[in-house]
A and B are shown apart, each in its own frame.
Chain A
Amino acid sequence: MSALEPERRTLLAVDDLHVHLGASHVLQGVSFAVAEGGVTALLGRNGVGKTTTLRAIMGLSPRRGRVTLAGEEIAKLPTHRIVRRGVGYVPEDRDVFAGLTVEENLRLAERNGTARYDLVYGLFPELRERAGQRAGTLSGGQQQMVAIARALLNENRLLLIDEPTKGLAPLLVTEVARVLEQASELATILLVEQNLGVVHRLARDAIVVDQGRVVHTGPARPLLEDPALVRRFLGVSGAAV
């Protein structure tokens, strides 16, 4: 944080988070804080526990530890109550309901009668045209639009977005990045993303996880622009830019 930038409030704090999946101790005391506003990237090699961290925050994986949202402890709440406190989730595999139409997928996500259809149809005009189409018949990119639209439909404070550009064509990657940039003006985003170009474009802060622990936190750009750090923490050659 620069000296001129005002200190930002912590929106999400994760403290000593542990997850056991079968015999594996996947998260081994993950701790980090996400400041309010903008995009914080959660980075790391494949299989280090990024998705598990998001799922544990959501209460979708059995976990131990403290998770607070704007100061309120949410680790003991069931998933639906965490969501109702203003947390939107876009899972890694999109998890759209294949047998439901696009419109039904969105209607299911409505909370409190304040659904922002104008916003989501403004961001994704194609979804309005395909409202009556079964989500299972959509392309991967269109399914990703549905998954992101569900999270943006309600006024959320925090969005947990897991690999939104995974498997998408380059043009769609740019499109998704554009949408996430706009979304970050509406809510704080904790983003798991392998495409470092997208991370460089969007993220203000970065958290690096390795073998179930946080090994680095700080501003995203200095990390991504340093080939040595990128190689050391993310296991890829060269910088993101």
Chain B
Amino acid sequence: MSTFVLLTITGLGLGAMYFLIASGLSLIYGLMGVLNFAHGAFLTVGAYSSWWLSTQLGGVGSDVLRFLLSAAFGLLVGAVVAALVELVLIRPLYQRHIEQVLVTVGLSLAMVAWVQATWGPTERVYEAPSWLARTTEVFGARVPNDRFVEIGVAAVVLVGIVAFLRYTRYGLIIRAGVENRAMVTALGIDVRRAFTLVFAIGGLAAALAGVLSGVYFGGSIDPDRGTSLLIFAFIVVVIGGLGSIMGSAVAAVLVGLVQQYANYYGSEYLDFSVLGDLSVVLMLAITLLVRPSGLAGKWSVAH
């Protein structure tokens, strides 16, 4: 029982990070039709920016304050870099989807190479508050505290994005734009501002995933973190339904849980250590065969 509880909460923590990456990917694709392969780079840049500031802060304040300050800096850098990528690289290639894919793939590779060249190819220790590394007992399982933070943060981001989409003018524009971008402009709205905003929100959420991944993966970050998580985030977006935030949330939870259960029980009983990844790919294949538009169907942004 305790093992199952631990796997469940750890799976939810992993799903939380998938959701943070997938939410931005999903909105960007839904609104702009851009398959953003550079999204993992926003995660890496956010994580490394946060780590860099934490190394500069030294003994300033408490470990919690240093963590919060450096995390906020990472989020800001992630959002700004994402907005700049949209303005400088994506906007000139509007509706040229092949070129957009090439540019975002190229940027993703370049960003990883730049991080490796600047801070080295090996892992960096990511300082987090000591409380996060401690455990809390839940139904007999000793669960690392950071899992609760990851789940809580993702839940707050989910509620925040849904509220933004439902109750703000820009949210209305984004929801309409996901359905029919041309008609939004035909109502006199400069939809390009919404493009930049969606990229910034996506970059911020990805950077948040980068910061939390530094805690989740044993207090370390590495240059390939973004790329490896991005693959699963893409799968989450497809399973959830392109453009759907709630679909991404449900799919992220499913993928995180299935991956954790399959990894553990596959190793334990079948001596098969990669069953987790295989299960996720199987989920993707089944979704594409049975319900190609994903769990939420097509174009159902905030629902």
Contacts and interface: CB of A to CB of B under 8 A. Distances in A.
A111 B300 CA distance: 25
Contacts of B187: 80, 83, 108-109, 150
Interface string A223-237: 000000000000000
B179 A79 contact: no
A60 B181 CA distance: 11
Nearest to B301: A99
Given A104-B172, A108-B172, A108-B173, A99 B179 contact: yes
B234 interface: no
B185 interface: yes
B267 interface: no
Interface stretch (B45-53, B119-127, B188-196, B282-290): B188-196
Contacts of A178: none
A91 B183 contact: yes
Given A84-B188, A111-B188, A100 B175 contact: yes
A218 interface: no
B28 to A, nearest CB: 18
A111 B301 CA distance: 24
Contacts of A95: 180, 183, 186
Contacts of B172: 100, 104, 107-108
Interface residues of A, number: 21
A12 interface: no
A121 to B, nearest CB: 18
Contacts of A99: 175, 179, 299-301, 303
Interface string B14-49: 000000000000000000000000000000000000
Contacts of A111: 188
Contacts of A108: 172-173, 176, 184, 187, 189
Interface string B182-224: 1111111111000000000000000000000000000000000
A98 B299 CA distance: 10
A167 interface: no
A97 B183 contact: yes
B185 A79 contact: yes
A79 B183 CA distance: 10
B188 A97 contact: no
A80 B191 contact: yes
Contacts of B186: 58, 60, 79, 83, 89, 91, 95
A163 B184 CA distance: 20
28 contacts: A60-B182, A60-B185, A60-B186, A78-B185, A78-B190, A79-B182, A79-B185, A80-B185, A80-B191, A83-B186, A89-B186, A91-B183, A95-B180, A95-B183, A97-B179, A99-B175, A99-B179, A99-B299, A100-B175, A100-B176, A100-B179, A108-B173, A108-B176, A108-B184, A108-B187, A109-B187, A109-B188, A150-B187
Return the 6 tightest CB-CB contacts between A and B, nearest first. A83-B188, A79-B185, A95-B183, A97-B176, A109-B187, A89-B186
